[in-house]
Amino acid sequence: MDADFLIIGGGIAGVSAAARMSELGSVIVLEAEGALAHHASGRSAALFEPRYGAPAVVGLSMASEAYFRSVPGLLSPRGLLLVGKADGVEDFEHDMEEMHFQRITVEEARRMVPILNPDVVVMAGHAMHGEDIDTDVLVQGFAREARGRGARIVTGTKVTAIAKAGAGWRVDSAAGSFTARIVVNAAGAWVDQVATMAGVRPLGFTPYRRSMARIPAPGGHDVSKWPMMFGPGESWYAKPDAGALIVSPAEEHLMEPHDAWADDMVLAEGLARYEEMVTEPVTRLISNWAGLRTFAPDRVLVIGPDARDPSFFWLAGQGGYGFQTSAAASRLAADLIGGRAPELEAGLVARLAPARFG
């Protein structure tokens, strides 16, 4: 065998798994694009908000926090600001409770973000538990750890075929054929396609597009200390980024797996929802992009050996939670593959297992 573990996908899921699994044996990572974290991982809003998502997702995020705090410069303060108008009370109150916001006055909110429109914004909530993640620090840190233990990370090599080979697998790619005992499916939006290629039953993952626009700092303000802003029901959000502001319509549009791009009309609609809440109009875009957030049917990550073939391992369905769950998700994957008792409690491990789909 060329390796003990062959990981398909070089996003945050695959790279973090490579770091953990390199403790257990030899690792090869195959990434179709020319660089790591090209697709969803490279287009993330990059926020650590551990209370975001279903309970099992929250469990993974919470379990990742200690690792994140151990990495110098990985997390930095940001904060969250929920702003609502008169006709959105129900969604506003729901988000206040779900995301553990504290109610503040509109005047207090405007001291944080002076462009909020006091004629429209009538409700506000604030929380300090949202922090920026330096995604490059995280991805490159995991990659260095993996390479430091001898892992081979091959970019620009698309997988073309997967077949059983004795007690393991043969994976054909643009860089040649590789054999391994275990295949780890961390292929993002393509995970079901990879499974089908391997003769494994797909689990029904669904990729959804989310678009982003980068706009100049509104009104020439210094936005660096502004919190990340949300519309109730996640109808839009805006986040400071490198002296500018990224604004997203927060859409979920069903897509086939592909290298996604933003839809102009969807962006315009999202920017209009943002503009309604502020006093500064959007006069130009610096850039725009989109990514695919891929979910399992229950919107919870899938981590574990396939129910029918344990040599095929799922690390999939990260949705919008890939970075903030990566430390605990990759540790769980390594624990399961290495036959170790997981650090996570048994109920959470079961809620993440592929076997839940029958």
Q: Does 3-60+134-205+297-357 match 80-127+206-293 in CATH topology?
A: no
Structure tokens at 35: 């660089």
Break the chain into its structural domains and give their ranges. 3-60+134-205+297-357, 80-127+206-293
Residue for token digits 């020319």?
A: 34
Beta bridge partners of 343: none
Work out the pLDDT band at 191, boundaries 50, 70, 90: very high
DSSP state of 329: H
End-to-end CA distance of the chain: 31
DSSP string across 174-241: TTEEEEEEEEEE--GGGHHHHHHHTTPPP---EEEEEEEEEEPPGGG---TTPPEEE-GGGS-EEEEE
Q: Angle at Cα 91 formed by Cα 126 and Cα 213, nearest 5°?
A: 70
Q: Which CATH architecture has domain 3-60+134-205+297-357?
A: 3-Layer(bba) Sandwich (3.50)
pLDDT of residue 39: 61
- pLDDT, one tens digit per residue, over 16-61 is 999 999 999 999 999 999 988 876 555 667 899 998 899 999 999 9
Q: Angle at Cα 166 formed by Cα 171 and Cα 190, nearest 5°?
A: 30
Work out the pLDDT band at 341, boundaries 50, 70, 90: very high
pLDDT of residue 239: 96
Q: How far apart are CA 304 and CA 317, in angstroms?
A: 12
Pick 245 or 320 by higher pLDDT: 245
Are 306 and 358 in contact, with CB atoms under 8 Å apart?
no
CATH 3.30.450.20 for the 80-127+206-293 domain, yes or no = no
- pLDDT, one tens digit per residue, over 116-169 is 999 999 999 999 989 999 999 999 999 999 999 999 999 999 999 999 998 899
Are 133 and 241 in contact, with CB atoms under 8 Å apart?
no
Q: How far apart are CA 49 and CA 64, in angstroms?
A: 11
Q: How far apart are CA 53 and CA 128, in angstroms?
A: 17
Q: How far apart are CA 25 and CA 68, in angstroms?
A: 24
- pLDDT, one tens digit per residue, over 195-228 is 999 999 999 999 999 999 999 999 999 999 999 9
Q: Determine what percent of the chain falls in helix, strand and coil, rounding each to the nearest 5.
A: 35, 30, 40
- pLDDT, one tens digit per residue, over 237-292 is 999 999 999 999 999 999 999 999 999 999 999 999 999 999 999 999 999 999 99
Work out the pLDDT band at 1, boundaries 50, 70, 90: confident
- pLDDT, one tens digit per residue, over 304-317 is 999 999 999 999 99
